[in-house]
Every structure is written in structure tokens, then in C-alpha cells.
Amino acid sequence: MQLGTPRAALDRLDALHQEWQQTRADLPLTARPGTPTYDDALADHDAEAWSYLDDWATHGHAVIDINTTARSTPSPLAPPPTAKPAPVADRTAPVRR
């Protein structure tokens, strides 16, 4: 199913992001970008995420296709737009009392 693959990939990417947040929090304070400890942990995270990103690159067009179709197809649930917009009150005209 075209939508099942990107959905599963997104779920897994969300889980990997949460895992990365925890991993980063567990690193020693000296582990900063550019240090082997940080860079190795990030490389492991990125390596695991690549296949799910590839799923999106391969199947994500289905989401775009659905969005394009939804925007260009009138909905039977919503009334068509009116020809004239609702009148706007003239706030510059003096008010008679």
C-alpha cells in the first residue's frame, strides 16, 4: 500500500528521533558535535534513519498526489463559494443617531 509505507516510516522516524533525544541526553557533557563520542552516536542514529528516509523518497509522492487531488476536487460536503463576498460594513461613514 502506497500510504502504509510512508506512514510506517514516519512512525519509525518519530521513534528514532525520541531515541536520539534520549541518547543525546545520556552522553557525557564533554560530548559535543565534532567529538568522537557525539559523532559516533549521531552516525549510528543517521544510519538507522536512512532506510526510512528512502521509503519517504520512494513513496512519499502518494501523499502529495492525494493533497493535490483533494485541493482540486470540489467537496460534496462543503457548499461552493458564493459569487459575491459578504458585504463589509463601512466604518468610515458617519453614524446617524
Per-residue pLDDT reduced to its tens digit, 23-46: 999 999 999 999 999 999 999 999
pLDDT score of 3 more than 80? no
Q: Please report, to the nearest 10 degrees, the dihedral formed by the alpha carbons of residues 62, 64, 66, 71 taken in order.
A: -170
DSSP 22: H
Q: Please report, to the nearest 10 degrees, the dihedral formed by the alpha carbons of residues 15, 20, 22, 23 taken in order.
A: 140
* pLDDT for res 46: 95
Q: Model-level pTM greater than 0.85?
A: no
pLDDT score of 75 more than 60? yes
Which residue would you say has higher pLDDT here, 90 or 24? 24
Q: Please report, to the nearest 10 degrees, the dihedral formed by the alpha carbons of residues 19, 22, 23, 28 taken in order.
A: 180
User: Per-residue pLDDT averaged across 7-27, rounded?
Assistant: 95
